[in-house]
Structure 1
Amino acid sequence: MFWADKIAADAQGYQVVNDSKTPSGRVHVGSLRGVVIHDVIYRALKHAGKPVKFLYGVDDYDALDTVPKYLDQEKFAPYLGFPLCNVPSPGEGASDYAKYFIGEFFEVFDYLGIKPETYFLRNLYRSGKLNTHIDTFLKNAHLVREAYKEVSKADRPSNWYPFQVICENCGKIATTEVTDYNGSEVFYTCKPDATNYVKGCGHSGWVSPFNGNGKLPWKVEWVAKWEVVGVTIEMAGKDHSQKGGSRDVANAICRKVLQKQPPFHSPYEFILVNGTKMSSSKGVGSSAKEIADLLPPELLRFLMLRTQPRTVINFAPNYETITRLFRDYDTLINKYQANGTGELTEELMPLFYAQLGDEVKAFQPFDYSTLISLLQIPRLNIQEEVVQRSPQPLNEYDQHIINQRIASAQKWLQDYADEEEKLVLYLEQVPEKANELTEEQVTYLQKLSENLQNIGNWEAEALQTLIFSTTKELQVQQANAFKAIYLSFLNKERGPKAGGLFSYLEKEFVISRLQDVVNLNLEKAKAQV
């Protein structure tokens, strides 16, 4: 059984699935993994006929702790330590910083067919919905301190209270420390040395902790959120799920202070981009919006779902990784169609949950790597070429998928392809490096051009087979043979599948080019003698 279906099968009664994000900057693609995982749990519960709601919270009362490198440092540095919702918007279309960055992320939700009910922490605090829990945690501060010490060995002083006031003088929330509570007001100090990234102003005084005047520390806030919105299922990333980590502390506070069981939890792993964990505020890694602009929605969902949640995804949008992603997806589409019954085996469940709706819609897969190559052939009509190369006539949905993939391949070539990965065809003249072939390579190209004269089927597989058989015929090392081909057409030693490369070009041109290369090398050899 697929992992999400197991969770759904075990769930009893009404379920509330919850996920959340602090919009400290452009949201990276790593944050999408949790979103997709929670969405799939929600869908699995619906398919199992269980009553369920999916919520997504925006933790916009958290402090701005870094100005991302892509923002104006001078403009935003004065707002360090402020609640994100009290920081100005970096651009038009949003009232503040938090709504600006979460708005971009929510656009990706729509793109992926993810439709949770959203809520903002500012509204929970300012409306008074968290007041009761703020009072409970302040009155039981000794139990919160105990939970921190027992679980994470963090020792809080006896006058530490789990609350941060928004300083009435300077507006910062990151620098304030509460040291007393009289049942209606807290005493706080805005400490100059509270953090290593911004100084507090030194102001102190008594203020009500209710109706948005401050916030709970996030491990305590997590527990309050569970209670206020009724969460029953909330997964967490590996960083929060380690022994003695944030989730363990929150669970302990939930049991110790509220005397309730915390929601169901299971950890999930990171997404690494080129082996690096990503950070919103540091601007490291590819943003969710950028990857959504690159991949069709089903492929982006599939990227998150083809591995188990506890397995790291290392996504590098290079040629090998992106073409394998499409190939793996197409393999499952072909298996689903070959099945013919519409039955979804466990192997096919990632494909099912990668869809935006509740069905797998079959189509004729067209190889993504071939599209990347075709798009780089000058004067070639890509749409006509796809129609010619498709084994069956394309229906409307086939064409829709093709158009998505063409747009994706164009985006990849424009924004992600290294120069080494780009196909630069020398159509007008023989490449410079093709004049430097060995005698063995020249003999091979001569024989290959003769064999190509007699081939009737000018298609990639047949051509690839002929290229290989010619190496065997002459007992030439394959690596040397392919190097000679690529140098003759691309001026570099590596390239796409050679049979595919030839199939994109006219037969007469290929044979003529091979002959030109042979003649140039023979003339050069004679001149040297």
Structure 2
Amino acid sequence: MFWADKIAADAQGDLIVVNDSKTPSGRVHVGSLRGVVIHDVIYRALKHAGKPVKFLYGVDDYDALDTVPKYLDLDKFAPYLGYPLCNTPSPDNRASDYAKYFMGEFLEVFDYLGVKPEVYYLRDLYRTGKLDRYIDLFLNNAHLVREAYKEVSKADRPDNWYPFHPICENCGKIATTVTTAYQDGKVFYTCEPNATNYVNGCGHSGWVSPFGGNGKLPWKVEWVAKWDAIGVSIEMAGKDHSQKGGSRDVANSICRKVLNKQPPFHSPYEFILVNGTKMSSSKGVGSSAKEIAELMPPELLRFLMLRTQPRSVINFSPNYETITRLFRDYDTLISKYQAHTEADANTPISEDLIPLLYAQLNEELSEQKLGPEENAKIPTYEAIDISTLISLLQVPHLDIEVEVEKRSPKPLSDYDWQIVRQRIAVAKKWLQDYADEEEKLVLYLDRVPDKAKSLDAEQTTYLTQLIANLEAEVNWDGEELQTTLFRTAKELEISQKVAFASVYLTFLGKERGPKAGNLLSYLDKSFVIARLQEVLQLNAISAVG
């Protein structure tokens, strides 16, 4: 049983509310999409199970601006450090404020991925008074909140600490205010000069009402208030919040102590790492969700998130190996799905195909994933390997669509061409924005690369035999040529690394490159043989000299 279906099977209630949230402190990175897609799939699994469900997504825009991302004007935004994000100006006039600017960018990716939650902003919950009764409750039970912090995370709060951060009436900061009393519906606070390590408070102090948006609860307490205010049933959290004694444990304890209620269902999920590094919205580490969405088709981006169990790390980097393997794995499952439907469309599909179905944007498709009598119909296509397209795009004077049509084993349908053109766009984007020099194919068509003029004896022996084998090769096809390259090395008992390096040096001027059989298949047979002969002649001259 797929993990989301297990959660759906156990969920009970008149209305099951699935919730996720984000603090829009800067460009939202691709890592944040994991939680979005996980919660979306739980929502879809619940719908498939016929249970009443609502999917909400919260924007934590009352959180403070705690750093100025490197891609923003420091002079413009440094004065707003410590301000609520919703009270910080937008980087440009496309949005009313900082939070809506960056969240708007992220919500465009939601639309692209077919994720359609009801979006709410914390500013609205605070300013309309929907959280007022919780603010009063937690302030009146501050001793229980302090107790939860101490018991769960060993964080010792002083007896005069109260769980509320007013917006300073003097300087507008929310990050620097410390509340030390609550009576007659007002809190006493001080805007502490040394409250944080990134901005100083102004020193102002006074009494103020905590209601109607005049401030916020600390986020672990706010989390609990939000759960109850909007009726959250299920909310997963990343590994960083889910460790023993961590944020989620503290929130769970507060929920039980103060509200006398059980917290929502929770299961942790792992990070998405880029080159082994967890991504940060404010620090600009990694690739933004919007940038990756501009590179990858939506179903492939969803597939990236879903093919790995939530508790396993996803190591992602938009390099050649990762991108081409992702497309190849997806195509393999599409082929398996096609074989399944052609063999017996009424047989339930195997579990490894469930992520593929949930990767589809069409919500109705993924709702049909199990019932044989309502079998999902995923459009299938004649797969064109993305690595082939990346290579073809770099061959000078080549019409890529003509070349694709020539290489296809059967006529391409309109849908096939839609996929081909989509992938050509991906390949172009990848070459333009992500490929490094080692990953680019630079063919030497007009001359022999200098590095090919000093091959060793094994390599010249290999090329001599390769010419004979290629001359006998009737089918100038990438796979056939790859077999010939391997067979020639085996005949001569030469290592594949040494043998293939001689081919790459001959045409690319470097020892590594794309699949060598495909590389040769892009070129005219007579040109390939003539180039190999020219390389041998130049090496013979070099040896005599």
Q: Same fold (TM over 0.5)?
A: yes
CA distance in structure 1 between the aligned counterparts of 2:458 and 2:144, rounded to whole angstroms: 81
Q: What per-residue deviation string (whole Å, max 9, x for no partner) do you get for residues 381-435 of structure 1?
A: 1111111112222222222221221111111111111211111000011111111
How high is the sequence identity, in percent, across the aligned residues?
76
Any conservation in 1 of the 2:22–2:58 contact (CA below 8 Å)? yes
Aligned to 2:370: none
CA distance in structure 2 between the aligned counterparts of 1:462 and 1:175, rounded to whole angstroms: 69
Aligned to 1:10: 10
Aligned to 1:221: 222
User: Any idea what SS the aligned residue of 2:19 has?
Assistant: strand
Q: 1:490 is matched with which residue: 486, 508, 513? A: 508
CA distance in structure 1 between the aligned counterparts of 2:489 and 2:251, rounded to whole angstroms: 65
Q: What amino acid is aligned across from residue 267 of structure 1 in structure 2?
A: P
> What pairs up with 1:391-410 in 2 under 5 angstroms?
391-410=409-428
- How far off is 1:506 after superposition? 0.8
CA distance in structure 2 between the aligned counterparts of 1:257 and 1:475, rounded to whole angstroms: 75
CA distance in structure 2 between the aligned counterparts of 1:207 and 1:468, rounded to whole angstroms: 79
Aligned to 1:511: 529
Q: Structure 2 stretches of 5 or more lacking a match?
A: 366-377
Matched, 1:453 2:471: yes
Q: 2:540 is matched with which residue: 507, 522, 529? A: 522
Q: What amino acid is aligned across from residue 352 of structure 1 in structure 2?
A: L
- How far off is 1:440 after superposition? 2.8
CA distance in structure 2 between the aligned counterparts of 1:424 and 1:375, rounded to whole angstroms: 11
CA distance in structure 2 between the aligned counterparts of 1:89 and 1:102, rounded to whole angstroms: 11
User: Any idea what SS the aligned residue of 2:438 has?
Assistant: helix
- How far off is 1:89 after superposition? 0.4
User: Any idea what SS the aligned residue of 1:421 has?
Assistant: coil
- How far off is 1:448 after superposition? 1.5
Aligned to 2:79: 78
RMSD between aligned alpha carbons?
1.1
Aligned to 1:189: 190
- How far off is 1:473 after superposition? 3.0
Q: What amino acid is aligned across from residue 229 of structure 1 in structure 2?
A: I
Any conservation in 2 of the 1:139–1:183 contact (CA below 8 Å)? no
Aligned to 1:347: 352
> What pairs up with 1:298-337 in 2 under 5 angstroms?
298-337=299-338
| More displaced stretch, 259-268 vs 382-391 | 382-391
Alignment size in residue pairs? 527
Q: 1:390 is matched with which residue: 408, 432, 439? A: 408
Aligned to 1:238: 239
> What pairs up with 1:246-325 in 2 under 5 angstroms?
246-325=247-326
Q: What amino acid is aligned across from residue 366 of structure 1 in structure 2?
A: I
| More displaced stretch, 48-57 vs 287-296 | 287-296
Aligned to 1:470: 488
Aligned to 1:433: 451
CA distance in structure 2 between the aligned counterparts of 1:443 and 1:433, rounded to whole angstroms: 17
> What pairs up with 1:197-208 in 2 under 5 angstroms?
197-208=198-209
User: Any idea what SS the aligned residue of 1:168 has?
Assistant: coil
CA distance in structure 1 between the aligned counterparts of 2:57 and 2:23, rounded to whole angstroms: 11
User: Any idea what SS the aligned residue of 2:70 has?
Assistant: coil
CA distance in structure 2 between the aligned counterparts of 1:290 and 1:492, rounded to whole angstroms: 30
CA distance in structure 2 between the aligned counterparts of 1:164 and 1:365, rounded to whole angstroms: 56
Aligned to 1:415: 433
> What pairs up with 1:144-183 in 2 under 5 angstroms?
144-183=145-184
- How far off is 1:12 after superposition? 1.2
Q: Output the TM-score relative to the length of structure 2.
A: 0.95
- How far off is 1:439 after superposition? 2.8
Any conservation in 1 of the 2:478–2:521 contact (CA below 8 Å)? yes
CA distance in structure 2 between the aligned counterparts of 1:508 and 1:374, rounded to whole angstroms: 19
Any conservation in 1 of the 2:340–2:349 contact (CA below 8 Å)? no
Aligned to 2:24: 23
Q: Output the TM-score relative to the length of structure 1.
A: 0.98
Q: What per-residue deviation string (whole Å, max 9, x for no partner) do you get for residues 287-338 of structure 1?
A: 1111111111111111111110000111122111111111111111111111
CA distance in structure 2 between the aligned counterparts of 1:2 and 1:158, rounded to whole angstroms: 48
Q: What per-residue deviation string (whole Å, max 9, x for no partner) do you get for residues 114-133 of structure 1?
A: 01000000011001111111
Q: What amino acid is aligned across from residue 344 of structure 1 in structure 2?
A: I
- How far off is 1:201 after superposition? 0.8
Q: What amino acid is aligned across from residue 435 of structure 1 in structure 2?
A: K
| More displaced stretch, 470-479 vs 292-301 | 470-479
CA distance in structure 2 between the aligned counterparts of 1:15 and 1:469, rounded to whole angstroms: 61
Any conservation in 2 of the 1:180–1:188 contact (CA below 8 Å)? yes
Q: Structure 1 stretches of 5 or more lacking a match?
A: none
- How far off is 1:481 after superposition? 1.6
Q: What per-residue deviation string (whole Å, max 9, x for no partner) do you get for residues 173-223 of structure 1?
A: 001111111141111111111111111111111111111000000001001
CA distance in structure 1 between the aligned counterparts of 2:306 and 2:66, rounded to whole angstroms: 32
Structure 1 runs, 4 residues or longer, greater than 6 Å off: none
CA distance in structure 1 between the aligned counterparts of 2:440 and 2:51, rounded to whole angstroms: 50
CA distance in structure 2 between the aligned counterparts of 1:448 and 1:143, rounded to whole angstroms: 79
User: Any idea what SS the aligned residue of 1:53 has?
Assistant: strand
User: Any idea what SS the aligned residue of 1:419 has?
Assistant: coil
CA distance in structure 2 between the aligned counterparts of 1:82 and 1:479, rounded to whole angstroms: 58
- How far off is 1:77 after superposition? 0.5
Q: What amino acid is aligned across from residue 10 of structure 2 in structure 1?
A: D
Any conservation in 2 of the 1:135–1:183 contact (CA below 8 Å)? no
| More displaced stretch, 278-287 vs 112-121 | 278-287
- How far off is 1:515 after superposition? 1.1
In structure 2, relative to structure 1, the CA distance for the partners of 1:470 and 1:248 (3 Å cut) is same
- How far off is 1:484 after superposition? 1.0
CA distance in structure 2 between the aligned counterparts of 1:166 and 1:94, rounded to whole angstroms: 22
| More displaced stretch, 414-423 vs 210-219 | 414-423
